[in-house]
Structure 1
């Protein structure tokens, strides 16, 4: 198949509508890069890190010569395990582990520093165009899944007040031994769980605005005094870091996911969708095996406790930008346990 023979995005939507098929959306880094590739590409992040005043990171980048953070973290983990097998000095192993943590924290710092300053950095036209794209899924009871860490999705949903954009977070009234009038009650931070039963927006790998306190998962928000990113920076200056799945391979990512109740819920939601899944800006790389596993689980026919058939995933549509993308998806197509269709990602008008 040549790239000019690919389906367009509109053709996919028309086909699914004709079949009365529910559709869901999976977003990858291509979603953010389509807004600004100068900010959200791995190359932009690696250039930022290379200029940091950190000798260890600079030497690592010089030795490994890659801008793929997942590969770098995987290699560091492998080196640490090999060192342990050969009985290397504990201090050496600790230093390798520390380098991994330094890279993780620096990656978060890089995203924070390169990120647009606030929600109004996105023009009104682009924000509304993106909102219309997202709402075409949410308005029809579809769900949105993303592996992106940045605030773009959150900003667009918040700014446009999309009705069905439910991320599972809400406030609880603080407990008191005395009766307090409604207008005088104190409410908690935005905690995850109150609306998880109707959640439609899922950050599969965490995001800048999400923090795990050890007891609760909370969502940072903007206030009348400070923009959202300012509040996130304030937390990070106190050595509180956002929920980020930055482990190397798919198995390690899944291990991180299952040890966090919020991430587990998001992953299980992806594993149980029905209808069709449209993937935009998601390349299904070597470190995304856990995502393929979730999709295959959703594609498996299954029954509920009352022996009734549950909805299952019928098909997946993957957007490709180039011949290389198309060749890659074709090479891994057999990993999917459901029909795979390709479409031209350049025909999706997300921001215009």
Structure 2
């Protein structure tokens, strides 16, 4: 039996919508799961580490990281040292290739093929996200990218040509073409990092996932954060100009109301929770109501959220009442 929402004061979206017109939206993994259950493995590391070789597991453990790119960079540096000192590097090169292929395989496993994507669903949801003026997301999959392509309302600050490589567009915060933007707070599979620039890959005639994995095979790695702790995530954000800009836009947003959907607000994202608590006055937060949850479980979850967002007025709404996915 599904718990009665009025027993725990969970609203329907249409009853609170007028208070959150044209305000920012923060999306978490719960949003993407409506498009594909494969994305239950939001963390590519978790998917990969299940069956990877023991040597590779040791590397991730030694560097206390779940970030593919960081481990690969360490191995590339070691390769250069070995080459300069004429030290055999077969085992290093072998593990580098294993990790690189593991990242490619993990991306392919959790993302849908073109045949599996429901275009009608993309069109339906794209119309609904137009009710918001900005979109922040902690997801790094491609579904939001398809939605904003269909929506045509949102920009992403990647509009300038990247002179060094025309396959990419360059991040520039001075985007005068759009008033509404998407912010990938933890990066995206579309976004890559060069020594002093952040760039986004352009579409070509191939399936976008293939374009991305082809870049990985050439030792160009997407910019996305997969570290587990909030402290590590924040450190990665602060090390990149684009991620720093996105995080600042969330922190210093002029609109003091925000809607949160599909975001668990867990300890791993406390860097985001703290800034939302400081900056926003009224917050609408989705709660998933199902027959598997008791009244006490719902109350416990709501009380936890209230305890970490103690400075704002919190309104809880039924997650099934905001977006229609079919």
TM-score by length of 1: 0.70
Q: Please, which of 110, 115, 124 is the counterpart of residue 111 of structure 2?
A: 115
Distance 1:220 1:188 in 2: 6
Distance 2:303 2:101 in 1: 35
For structure 1, list consecutive stretches of 5 or more residues without a partner in the other structure. 65-70, 75-98, 176-185, 299-312
Distance 1:125 1:9 in 2: 23
Q: Which residue of 2 aligns with 1:154?
A: 145
Secondary structure at 1:282 match in 2: coil
1:31 equivalent in alignment to 2:31: yes
1:319 equivalent in alignment to 2:286: yes
Q: Please, which of 122, 127, 148 is the counterpart of residue 127 of structure 1?
A: 122
Q: Which deviates more from structure 2 when the two are superposed, residues 287-296 or residues 25-34?
A: 287-296
Query: How far did 1:290 drift?
Result: 0.5
TM-score by length of 2: 0.75
Secondary structure at 2:192 match in 1: strand
Query: How far did 1:285 drift?
Result: 0.8
1:333 equivalent in alignment to 2:322: no
Distance 1:4 1:105 in 2: 47
Aligned-CA RMSD value: 3.6
Q: Which residue of 2 aligns with 1:192?
A: 171
Q: Which residue of 1 aligns with 2:252?
A: 272
The 1:208–1:135 alpha-carbon spacing in structure 2 relative to 1, beyond 3 Å, is same
The 1:51–1:252 alpha-carbon spacing in structure 2 relative to 1, beyond 3 Å, is closer
Q: Please, which of 177, 183, 196 is the counterpart of residue 215 of structure 1?
A: 196
Q: Which residue of 2 aligns with 1:295?
A: 276
Q: Please, which of 153, 160, 169 is the counterpart of residue 164 of structure 1?
A: 153
Query: How far did 1:3 drift?
Result: 5.0
Query: How far did 1:244 drift?
Result: 1.1
Q: Deviations over 1:136-165 (max 9, x none)?
A: 11xxxx11000001000001211x1x3331
Query: How far did 1:106 drift?
Result: 4.4
Query: How far did 1:213 drift?
Result: 1.2
Distance 1:206 1:173 in 2: 18
Matches within 5 A, 1:222-237: 222-223=203-204, 225-237=205-217
Query: How far did 1:15 drift?
Result: 4.1
Q: Which residue of 2 aligns with 1:256?
A: 236
Q: Which residue of 2 aligns with 1:347?
A: 321
Q: Which residue of 1 aligns with 2:48?
A: 49
For structure 2, list consecutive stretches of 5 or more residues without a partner in the other structure. 68-94
Secondary structure at 1:218 match in 2: strand
> How many correspondences in the alignment?
284
Distance 1:59 1:43 in 2: 22
